[in-house]
A and B are shown apart, each in its own frame.
Chain A
Amino acid sequence: MHRRPNANELRGRDTSQAGQVRLTLRVGLVSLVLLLCATPQASAEWQIKPFLGVTFAGSTTFVHPADAVASPHVAFGLSGIWLGEILGAEADVGYVRGFFGDQNVIVGNIAPVVGSSAVTLTGNVVVALPRRLTQYTLRPYFVGGAGLIRASIDPGVGGGGLQVASTRPGMDLGGGVTGFLSKRVGLGWDVRHFRSIGTGEERGLSFGPEQLSFWRANMALAIRY
């Protein structure tokens, strides 16, 4: 049986999506707390990593008239890591301006997107090679977690019906290496894959349920405390 959803059902759908986001946040937070409690404090260190990178191999079901998602885009952001001998936790926020295109991308005779962005906010578990084995070399690590991915697309005048502002639960998975040049300062390289999770909405702003995924490779300045 098909019929138009009523206001209560629409509210219910919103509530279930908000619930999905809340659940993702809770899982991330609980993982972080457990890790902080479980890891011995003696060998722990804090790292702050401002990073600059590039996104590539992007894919989305969102309407993106500029068709720019798969192209490379500059990404920047900040990671904060608490790292024990092997296990650690990380909070990562990244921003990709023009991910879905901007006014410089001309299709036909127009710039179909005047501004866009993708923002990621994830809480991650870090598994690194023991510090004692990598004291004077690069220290490899794997990273994975969950969080939120926000997509914004502004088609400007004329395409108002296709304006996107969507926040979806997401996950990331990847790895990298960090090497310290001094006791406090080092460099890191990181590659990770971000993707939205769960069943996306269908609001006329996507071809099928709303989904987004991309890779991010970045270089970071690592500051250790």
Chain B
Amino acid sequence: MIKKIFRVEDMHCSNCALKLESLEEILEGVKEINASYHKLEMVVEYDENKLTEVEIVRAVKKKGYTAALA
């Protein structure tokens, strides 16, 4: 398991953080996602053998946001 922080600059309310956290149930290999609108970032704990950074960024994109490694 690895923990990485992604900056999501285009979050504009707490709803966005909730939307991003709901990726927990969609992305295989994710253990936990903690998104914060206050900090404009999301901390993703995931299995690097099952998931890549690119896939996370792509999933975030599908939710309507742009993520970049912090």
A and B pair up:
no
Chain B residues within 8 Å of A, Cβ to Cβ: none
Chain A residues within 8 Å of B, Cβ to Cβ: none
